[in-house]
């Protein structure tokens, strides 16, 4: 099924004509629970990874004393999904209860110091995602992350890999997996994608100072929230990237180590809609979705939860060989 964002309830360019020159295309990915294969674009699905290419690991320090078992998290997710098709008052079976109990945090005696196999986060084929940036000859973007987010510098370990799908003749199966992860919220549940390209504008503190001041005054006078009309929420590719908190007057663009201003590549966002922007960004096809009767919630089916933060992956416009720039930013969406 396709996903269609309804027209904006308000055209911000009619209020602020300067924004017309700042419009950018962004691809909303609309992840929904499914069973993707290596041939599909996905979140949390299997990757088309060559059999003879080492699977990436994180060797950074992980000062953790509490973990959860990945196998138990996965099993608990499948049970929870299945339970929503059963009567609401039907209690869990003893077998289900045992899985739920296993999926909770477990204390460990010493910090986890072994190399950690990265978890697949997303796989995007250029044929599916309009505007996906790729090096010459490549048509596939793969993103992985360390399931232990608690690093010394508080920046997640993320690996970005572009490749040519036709050159993968033998697929690594099964790939290595970590036995334990930091939190169950860091495991992306398998989702198929329904990419849709829409238009977005800069967040308030990404605007030129004079325009930003007018937008803030307009918000106070009208009670409107500018981001509801200008910034696409959820998992997306391109656009203006992460929406930083309005507490700062301005948001300087991140830079690559080479000094170049980095470009937004991929956003691990919050829910696709919430109490503030339910009417504006909720796809037409999900108009009747009731998150109270759905697990995972209809607009958050990846199960990934970074709290009130979004994770932004930026790329260097000068070279695809340069490492990505990673940011975790508090979001006001």
- How do strand 158-163 and strand 66-69 relate by DSSP bridges? unpaired
82, burial (CB in 10 Å: exposed 0-12, middle 13-18, buried 19+):
exposed
CA distances from 279 to 1, 209, 292 (A): 20, 29, 17
Task: Look at residues 154, 187, 220 and tell me which one is the last residue of a structural domain.
Answer: 187
Domain ranges, residue 44: 35-187
Could you count the other beta carbons within 10 Å of the beta carbon of residue 212? 20
Task: Look at residues 187, 211, 229 and tell me which one is the last residue of a structural domain.
Answer: 187
User: In terms of domains, do 21 and 87 share one?
Assistant: no
Q: What's residue 65's pLDDT?
A: 78
What totals of helices (H) and strands (E) does the chain contain, helices first? 6, 17
Q: How long is the chain?
A: 333
Q: CA quadruple 176, 177, 178, 180: dihedral positive or negative?
A: negative
Q: What's residue 80's pLDDT?
A: 84
Q: pLDDT 10s per residue in the chain (333 long)?
A: 789 999 988 999 999 999 999 999 999 999 999 999 999 999 999 999 999 999 999 988 787 778 899 999 999 888 888 777 676 667 778 887 888 778 778 877 666 777 899 999 999 999 999 989 999 999 999 999 999 887 766 678 899 999 999 999 999 999 999 999 988 999 999 999 999 999 999 988 889 999 999 999 999 999 998 988 999 999 999 999 765 554 455 567 789 999 999 999 999 988 888 755 545 899 999 888 776 667 788 888 999 998 888 899 999 999 999 999 998 877 765
User: In terms of domains, do 159 and 245 share one?
Assistant: no
Rounded Cα distance, 209 and 250, in Å: 7
User: In terms of domains, do 136 and 11 share one?
Assistant: no
Rounded Cα distance, 122 and 144, in Å: 7
3-state SS class at 77: helix
Task: Look at residues 139, 165, 187 and tell me which one is the last residue of a structural domain.
Answer: 187
Place of tokens 């078992």: 69
User: In terms of domains, do 138 and 207 share one?
Assistant: no
Contact between 9 and 279 (Cβ < 8 Å): yes
Q: What's residue 88's pLDDT?
A: 66
Phi, psi at 48, each rounded to 5°: -80, 80
User: In terms of domains, do 115 and 238 share one?
Assistant: no
Rounded Cα distance, 254 and 155, in Å: 14
Whole-prediction pTM: 0.93
Q: DSSP H helical segments within the chain, as ranges?
A: 12-15, 70-83, 94-102, 209-222, 226-230, 278-281
Closest CA to 21 of 216, 208, 197, 237: 208
Rounded Cα distance, 276 and 266, in Å: 23
How many domains does the chain contain in total? 2
Rounded Cα distance, 203 and 331, in Å: 10
Q: What's residue 56's pLDDT?
A: 96
- Kindly write down the DSSP assignment for every residue of 302-317, as one continuous string: T----TTEEEEEEE-S
Closest CA to 188 of 298, 284, 82, 77: 77
User: In terms of domains, do 51 and 168 share one?
Assistant: yes
DSSP code for 235: S
User: In terms of domains, do 172 and 263 share one?
Assistant: no
User: In terms of domains, do 16 and 60 share one?
Assistant: no
Closest CA to 206 of 224, 231, 179: 231
Q: What's residue 87's pLDDT?
A: 67
User: In terms of domains, do 41 and 10 share one?
Assistant: no
Q: What's residue 247's pLDDT?
A: 47
Place of tokens 């970074």: 306
Rounded Cα distance, 243 and 9, in Å: 20
3-state SS class at 238: strand
């Amino acid at each position: 099924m396709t996903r269609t964002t309804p027209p904006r309830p308000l055209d911000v360019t009619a209020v602020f004509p300067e924004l017309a020159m700042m419009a950018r295309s962004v691809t909303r990915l609309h992840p929904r629970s499914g069973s993707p294969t290596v041939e599909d674009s996905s979140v949390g699905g299997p990757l088309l990874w060559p059999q003879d290419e080492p699977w990436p690991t994180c060797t950074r320090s992980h000062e953790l004393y509490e973990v959860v078992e990945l196998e138990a998290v996965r099993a608990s997710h499948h049970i929870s999904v299945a339970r929503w098709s059963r009567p609401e008052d039907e209690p869990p079976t003893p077998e289900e209860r045992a899985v739920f109990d296993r999926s909770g945090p477990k204390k460990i005696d010493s910090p986890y110091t072994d190399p950690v196999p990265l978890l697949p986060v997303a796989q995007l084929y250029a044929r599916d995602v309009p505007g996906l940036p790729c090096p010459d000859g490549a048509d596939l973007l793969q993103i992985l992350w360390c399931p232990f987010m608690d690093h010394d510098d508080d920046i997640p370990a993320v690996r970005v890999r572009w490749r040519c799908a036709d050159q993968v003749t033998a697929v690594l199966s099964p790939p290595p997996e970590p036995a334990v992860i930091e939190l169950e919220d860091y495991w992306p549940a398998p989702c198929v994608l329904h990419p849709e390209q829409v238009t977005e504008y800069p967040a308030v503190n990404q605007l030129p100072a004079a325009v930003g001041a007018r937008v803030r005054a307009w918000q106070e006078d009208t009670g409107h929230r500018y981001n509801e009309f200008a910034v696409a929420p959820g998992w997306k590719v391109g656009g203006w990237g992460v929406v930083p908190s309005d507490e700062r007057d301005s948001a300087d663009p991140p830079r690559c180590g080479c000094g170049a201003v980095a470009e937004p590549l991929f956003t691990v966002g919050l829910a696709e809609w919430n109490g503030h922007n339910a009417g504006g960004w909720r796809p037409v096809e999900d108009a009747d979705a009731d998150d109270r009767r759905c697990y995972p919630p209809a607009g958050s089916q990846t199960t990934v939860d970074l709290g009130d933060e979004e994770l932004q992956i930026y790329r260097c416009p000068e070279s695809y060989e340069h490492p990505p720039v990673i940011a975790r930013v508090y979001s006001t969406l």
